[in-house]
Amino acid sequence: MKHFEFVNDRLIVLDQRKLPFQKEYVVCKTYQDTYTAIKDMIIRGAPLIGIVAAYGVVLGFKEIIEKNLEKDKIHDVIVHLSKSRPTAVNLFWALDRMKSTFERIKDMDKIEIYKQLLNEAKKIESEDKNINRKIAEYGNQLIKENSNILTHCNAGALATGGYGTALGVIREAHFSGKNVHVYVDETRPYLQGARLTAFELSEDGIPNTVICDNMAGYLMKLGKVDCVIVGADRIALNGDTANKIGTYSLSVLAKHHGIPFYIAAPTSTIDFSISSGDEIPIEERDEDEVRIFNGQKIVPDTSNVFNPAFDVTPAENITAIITEKGIVYPPFKQNILKLKD
Ligand code: MRU
C-alpha cells in the first residue's frame, strides 16, 4: 500500500512515527482522526498535511450526512482542522480550496456535495504528485554530475502526495543517470532525516550517509558538500522561507562556505499574504520530544527545554527556489509575485 489512501470512506495513513522499522497503518474514520494524525505527526510534511486535511473535510461532511446536521457545520470542521498545526501554509491553502468548493455547491443535495468534496480532495492529491514531478525536472537542471548533496528533514514522497520536493529533485538526478550522493541530517528531535529520508533514499538505491545535525559545518569545511536542497513549510513574498528547525543554521553555513542553497517547494507553499518571514507563525512542540529519547529521559528534570519545530531562512541566504512553475532567482520579491495565477 501507499503511504496514504482514501478507501471506503476512510483515510488510511502510514504511521510515520514508527518508520523505518515498523510499517503500521492508522485508520482515520472521522475528521477528528485526521486532526490527530496531523497534530501528533502520524503524518507530516507540508504538502501531505494539506492533502490529509482536505480528506478530513470530506470525512467531516460524511458525519454531517450521517448525523443529519446542517450543511454549514462544515465550517466548524474546517476551523477545527486549521488548528492542527500552525506553520505549513499548505494546510490553510487546502482548507481554503475545500471551503470554496463547498461554497460553490452548497445548494446541492448532501450526497452530491459529499461526492464533489471528495473529488476536490482527490484533485489536490493528484495535482501534488504532478507538481512534484515538475519540481524534480526543473531542480535536476541545477544538479551537477558527481554531486554531494546535503538535505535536512524529510521532503520526500512521505511528506507529499508522492515523489517529494527536495527528494524529488535528488531522485530525478539519480534516475537520470547522474552520480549523486546525499548527506542526510538526522534532524533532531523527530529524526525525519535519519528515519524517513535515509529510508526513502535507501529504498531507491540512492547512496546516502546520515550525519548528526551538528556535523554539517565540518563536512562543508572539508569541501564535501556541493549543494544543499531542502523543502519548505511557508515562503513569504520576499523569499524568506520557514522549514524544519536547523535549516536556518545550514543556510548560514552554506553561505559562509559559498555553497548553493536551494529550496524546493510547490507554489501552494507560498503565502502571498505575508511580506516577510517575520509574519510566519513558528510551532512550538511538546518539550518531551527533546527530553525523552527512545522512551528514555535524557535531560535532567531541573532543566528547561525549548522545542521550536521550524525556523526561518532569510531570502539572502537562498540561491534559488525551485517550484513547479520554474526556478525562481533573486530578486525574490519581484519574481515570486510572477508565480501568482
Ligand atoms: O514537522 P514536519 O516533519 O512536518 O516538517 C517537515 C518539513 O519541514 C519539510 O521540510 C517541509 O514540510 C517540506 S515537505 C515536502
Q: How far apart are CA 57 and CA 80, in angstroms?
A: 10
DSSP annotation of 194 reads I
Radius of gyration of the chain from its Cα atoms, rounded to whole angstroms: 20
Q: Which residues are annotated as a binding site for substrate?
A: 44-46, 85, 192, 243-244
Domains located in the chain, CATH noted: 4-133 (1.20.120.420), 137-337 (3.40.50.10470)
pLDDT band at 341 (very low <50, low <70, confident <90, very high): confident
Catalytic residue among 15, 76, 96, 233: 233
Q: Is the pTM of this model over 0.95?
A: yes
- Asked whether 187 lines ligand 1 (CB < 6 A), one says no
- Asked whether 121 lines ligand 1 (CB < 6 A), one says no
- 101 neighbors 108 (Cβ within 8 angstroms): no
Q: What is the pLDDT of residues 5-53, one digit of tens each?
A: 999 999 999 999 999 999 999 999 999 999 999 999 999 999 999 999 9
Q: What is the pLDDT of residues 314-334, one digit of tens each?
A: 999 999 999 999 999 999 999
Q: What is residue 1's predicted lDDT score, i.e. its pLDDT?
A: 63
Q: What is residue 311's predicted lDDT score, i.e. its pLDDT?
A: 98
- Classify burial at 222, counting beta carbons within 10 Å of its beta carbon; exposed 0-12, middle 13-18, buried 19 or more: exposed
Q: How far apart are CA 273 and CA 270, in angstroms?
A: 9
pLDDT over threshold 80, residue 253? yes
Instruction: Show the DSSP H helices in 106-178 as ranges.
Output: 110-140, 166-175
Q: How remote is the CA of residue 112 from the centroid of ligand 1, in Å?
A: 34
Atom of ligand 1 nearest to the CA of 192: 3
Q: How remote is the CA of residue 156 from the centroid of ligand 1, in Å?
A: 9
Q: What are the grid coordinates assigned to 263, written together? A: 529550496
Q: In the predicted model, what is the mean pLDDT of residues 216-236?
A: 98
Q: Name the percent of the chain lying above pLDDT 70.
A: 100
Q: How remote is the CA of residue 29 from the centroid of ligand 1, in Å?
A: 25
Q: How far apart are CA 267 and CA 321, in angstroms?
A: 10
Q: In the predicted model, what is the mean pLDDT of residues 265-284?
A: 98
Q: What is residue 81's predicted lDDT score, i.e. its pLDDT?
A: 98
ipTM, interface predicted TM-score of the complex: 0.99
Q: What are the grid coordinates assigned to 147, written together? A: 554531486
Q: In the predicted model, what is the mean pLDDT of residues 206-232?
A: 98
Q: How far apart are CA 277 and CA 232, in angstroms?
A: 12
Q: What are the grid coordinates assigned to 43, written together? A: 503524518
233 is catalytic: yes
- Asked whether 88 lines ligand 1 (CB < 6 A), one says yes
- 265 neighbors 321 (Cβ within 8 angstroms): yes
